[in-house]
Amino acid sequence: MAQDGLYTKLHLAVRARTQPGQVVLVSGSATSDRTSGALEMVTSPDQYPIWRTPKPVIIARGVRHDYRYSIRSAHDVEAEPGHVRSVKTNTPELHKEDDFGVTPPEPPDVPLKKPSPTPGASRLVIVCYHLPVRVVRDAQNNWTASWGSSIIAKSPSESIADSRETWWAGTIHGGLNRRQLTDQDKDEIRAVLLKMNCIPVFSSNSEEGYLNYCKRILWPSFHNVTVLDQCCAAWHERAEWDQDAGSSWSAYEAMNGDFRDMLLDFLRAGDTVWVHDYYLMLLPSLLATSEPFRVDRHQSRKARIVFFLHAPFPTSQLFCALANGPKLLEGVVGADVVGFHAFEHARHFLNACTRLMGMERASVAGGITGVLHQGRTVMVVVRHVSVETDQIEQALRDEVPSHVPAIEGLIQEPSRETPNNAKRIVLCGVDPCQRLSGISLKLLAYERFLAEYPRWRGRVALVQYCLLDGTRVQDEARTLDEIKALGQRLNAQNPGSVVLIERPSGRLGMAERLALFQRSDVLVGTAIREGHTLYPSEYALARALKGRPGVILASEFSATSTLMSGAVNVNPFDVPSVAAALDTALSMDAVEKRDRLDRDLPYVKSRPSGRWTQEILEDMETVHRQVAVDEDASLAIAQRLEIGRLADAFSRSSRRFLFLDLGGTLIPKGDSVSKVLKSATKGALLRPGVRRALQALSEDPQTTVYVVSGTTPSALESLFSDLPQLSLAAANGLATSLPSQRPQTTMTSYGTDWDAVRKAALPLMKRRAAWTNGSAVLKREPGLAWSYYRADPEWGRIQALQLAQDLESILAPFDVAVAHREGMLEIVPQAMHKGHVVKKALSEALSRGEPPDFVLCVGDSLSDEKMFSSVYSYLADAPRAPLDRAFTVAVGRKASRALFYLDDDAHVGDALAALAGRAA
């Protein structure tokens, strides 16, 4: 952007032949000084068919702005065909003429189609706690590495790496003692992994953060085990409350910080970072607040972030028991896209965001759901992944046959003759040896099954693999002891009925799994709580390729129950029901087995990891396009404000106007004015530096400072009673109080009969308040409001939407509007908004012959966008407008009409302090 000015006055004209009653509109980011997405153009008999903007449009210099013409008739709006137009200039003023329906060639910086990957293009960086590789020393004592079988490993088919440069980052595992690795070992490992596009992270905090916080606290919590249950669980050593409880959280923070530091040395502008699972929930936000992720105008970020959770997400009631739950959520919503395997998990996450963090729900075209965070829409998606069909087919052909004898050797065939000398029917299970896997419940149900259905005794065997990966040692040990005791009891009653196999490595190779699945007639899952697992998909495909469909029993508490529609769903706690389901599965005829398999095969075969990855990246592109051209196309992403530049402009001026919002700007977001007033010291929640800066600026004779708020006049006056030189605008501009008249206020008359409005609206609002705990009716001066700020967010929003409809209907005869603001419904004059305060103050100064030569306008909410629009309107109208010294600033990175942004209220305080230091 040119340094000699911030804005350009743009005059648009278009040649358009219209029919009587039609009007030409122009919309887009080039019309950002308007309060709506489209600006109505004007013409006259002597100028027709030329239509012009009624006055200049204010645009940021040096930035590309998009716009499009359309024609509005009585019943329709017809958009101009072709791609959008664009303009970019560094001049103080620009006149541009167009022909409606004739668009110039596509600008070269807007590709006509998706470009093919080229060296130096945007990269995909997949970040996971464990790299999906195996690193070992070979016979010559050299380090070697090979890809694992994880869904985030490089896939041999439909891999995203075939079309886009892809890197992987994470720690190394697989039996290596990372503490014993020398610096030379690390350098050699880096060199080996570099050839595979892998970046190892050697974190000194990983063990404490991974084993103690992730596996002992997060893992059970995410599986709906409360903190109290964890302390007293039979499989867990009794925990003691002590002062060291926070050490694992500190290690978790440091571990995420180590990943952030490594990535910042590697990333470049345009990269997409895909963070996986609960080990790294803080990483998206850590990256988002660091370079190269700074927001640039007209793009959400220079680099983009996706977070995908593979574990379940708990209910909001359980999640709130985590001491650092809000910090985890804050970390995750630093991403642009948040993904889950199941809708239930996404729903719980959305509820936690609204209930714990007060975030608003959002949606865009295409049915994608999300939450609003700092003005951004964080998209929440549900994307399923299945198995690599090609790999399984190859393994069945080349590797599985050699494992079949070993599987057969596990099964003790009946000693007596059976009809047709039939072998035992095999039921199988492959589960982590942890309490929540429900293996003990499975064995109890199996015991009940053999007792109640005696015809199966001696004819069936349950082969249960218990995987011990060493991440939850106490849980694994106690669960294994219980499983062994149940297994021994079952085999004592029915010899050969149970085969228990321990795998200390925590792994069961694909070839061995497939050999087991091909031999097994039923796959039994009874997890108490489980995320996404690919074993059911592997089982279904392995049986299908053999031509002998099997049956899947899936726990109702697992993702499998929702993803595999052909499975028989069971409640693992209902032991008699599970026993009956086992009998149903074994008795099922071939036709029904085939029907159930046919329901799942299309899903199983069509969801390889490469396609899943591509879908997630397409979601990322959807978000990026949505942010780049917002639903209100007049909004764009602001650029970071350089406080030094602001202060220099302030010093070069002599007639300055500052317009400052209150909540979220001068005081922290969520701190209500009533809370401030109830504190022991008035204004205690105002940062001391902010109060000192406001005092210095308001006492400067060359500076006029307005605080513009939606709160009541009395509350605002009480808050700033010790700063008499401030100008106050309360109730969003309905009541103003200038220094010469304080504490008296002037009410702006909009010709509203407030007595009649109250008489009509008050009964409805009181009734809704009685139905909604935590809500209240607030009597304004004048006006009315219904606050649900302290109510349950979801219930309050539902009630607010219904109340708004009722009020709009009953108040239709009056010249009022129902404004739905954050946590509140307000009845306000139809024409009233904060922008009127700015417009009136600047216009009066201009009429006095004292036009402002510096304007600063700062706000954090949608209601403050009206103030920004009024600033631009003044710049368009004023003959000597301060195009180089008018600063519109949003608080938080977001789509906004503001040209600049500051991160939060603390940075606003820093900016005000810098200006106060330059005041007279």
138-189 pLDDT, tens per residue? 888 888 888 887 777 766 666 677 778 999 999 987 656 667 788 888 899 9
Planar angle of CA 629, 631, 636, nearest 5 degrees: 45
For the whole prediction, is pTM greater than 0.75?
no
Q: CA of 164: how far to CAs of 120, 167, 308, 383, in Å?
A: 10, 10, 20, 20
Contact (Cβ atoms closer than 8 angstroms) between residue 200 and residue 172: yes
Whole-angstrom Cα distance, residue 218 to residue 226?
Answer: 10
385-406: pLDDT as tens digits: 888 888 888 888 888 888 888 8
Q: Is the pLDDT of residue 355 over 80?
A: yes
C-alpha distance from residue 437 to each of 29, 483, 531, 533 (Å): 53, 11, 11, 12
- Per mean pLDDT, which of 115-124, 357-366, 835-844 is the most reliable? 835-844
The pLDDT of residue 521 is 94
Q: What is the residue-wise DSSP string for 652-706?
A: T-SSEEEEEESBTTTB-TT--HHHHHHSSSTTTTS-HHHHHHHHHHHT-TTEEEE
SS3 620: helix
Q: Which amino acid is at 777?
A: V
pLDDT at 732: 80
Cis peptide before 92 (omega within 30 of 0): no
pLDDT exceeds cutoff 70 at 338:
yes
| Residue with the two structure tokens 């109730």 | 731
**Cα 235 to chain centroid, rounded:** 34
Q: What is the pLDDT of residue 329?
A: 94
pLDDT digits 0-9 by tens, 269-282: 788 999 999 999 99
In order of their start, the domains of the chain are 7-99 (2.60.40.10), 124-202+259-382 (3.40.50.2000), 389-605 (3.40.50.2000), 638-748+832-918 (3.40.50.1000), 754-829 (3.30.1240)
Cα 257 to Cα 727: distance, rounded to the nearest angstrom: 44
Nearest alpha-carbon partner for 358 in 805, 13, 758, 663? 663
Q: Give alpha helix (H) positions in 411-470.
A: 439-452
Mean pLDDT calculated for residue range 294-303: 47
Arithmetic mean of pLDDT, 445-458: 95
- Mean pLDDT, all residues of the chain: 83
- Contact status, residue 436 vs residue 582, Cβ threshold 8 Å: no
pLDDT of residue 680: 36
- Contact call for residues 85 and 104 (beta carbons, < 8 A): yes
Measured between alpha carbons, how far apart are the two ends of the chain, in Å? 30
Q: Give the per-residue pLDDT at 562.
A: 86
How many C-alpha atoms does 69 have within 13 Å on its Cβ side?
Answer: 26
- Look at residue 646 and tell me whether its pLDDT is greater than 60: yes
Lowest mean pLDDT among 16-20, 460-464, 856-860: 16-20
Measured CA to CA, the distance from residue 756 to residue 588 in angstroms comes to: 71
Q: What distances in angstroms separate CA 444 from CA 65, 489, 574, one per listed residue?
A: 67, 10, 10
Q: Give the span between the Cα atoms of 18 and 73, in whole angstroms.
A: 9
Distance CA 376, CA 363 (A): 11
Residue 144 · residue 135 · CB < 8 Å: yes
In three-state secondary structure terms, 247 is helix
Q: Which two tokens stand for residue 818?
A: 């129902």
pLDDT at 681: 39
The stretch 531-557 carries a mean pLDDT of 92
- Give the pLDDT confidence score for residue 636 in this predicted structure: 59
Give the pLDDT of residue 625. 59
576 or 228: which leads in pLDDT? 576
Nearest to 92 by CA among 10, 170, 213: 10
pLDDT at 515 over 50: yes
Contact 40, 51 (CB under 8 A): no
3-state secondary structure of 269: coil
Distance CA 757, CA 752 (A): 8
In the predicted structure, residue 33 carries a pLDDT above the cut 80: no
Amino acid making up residue 861: S
In this predicted structure, the answer to whether residue 114 has a pLDDT above a threshold of 60 is no
Contacts of 595 (CB under 8 A, 6+ apart): 566
Beta bridge partners of 704: 657
pLDDT at 113: 36
- Identify whether 743 is preceded by a cis peptide bond (ω within 30 of 0): yes
Cα dihedral value 571, 576, 577, 583, nearest 10: 130
**Does residue 610 contact residue 159 with C-beta atoms inside 8 Å?**
yes
294 or 72, which is more confident? 72
Q: What is the DSSP string of 37-49?
A: SEEE-B--TTTTT
What percentage of the chain has pLDDT greater than the value 90? 38
Give me the pLDDT at residue 43, please. Answer: 92
- Total length of the chain: 920
3-state SS, residue 63: coil
Where residue 687 falls among pLDDT bands split at 50, 70, 90?
Answer: confident
Q: How far, in Å, CA of 135 to CA of 172, rounded?
A: 7
Cα torsion 614, 617, 618, 624 to 10°: value is -170
**Residue 419 confidence (pLDDT):** 54
Percent of the chain scoring above 70 in pLDDT = 86
* SS3 state at 862: helix
Distance CA 591, CA 253 (A): 54
Closest by CA to 173, choosing from 191, 198, 151, is 198
Tokens of 494: 């029915």
* pLDDT the model gives residue 2: 39
Q: Of 382, 169, 162, 359, nearest to 273 (Cα)?
A: 169
Distance (Å, whole) CA 89 – CA 680 = 53
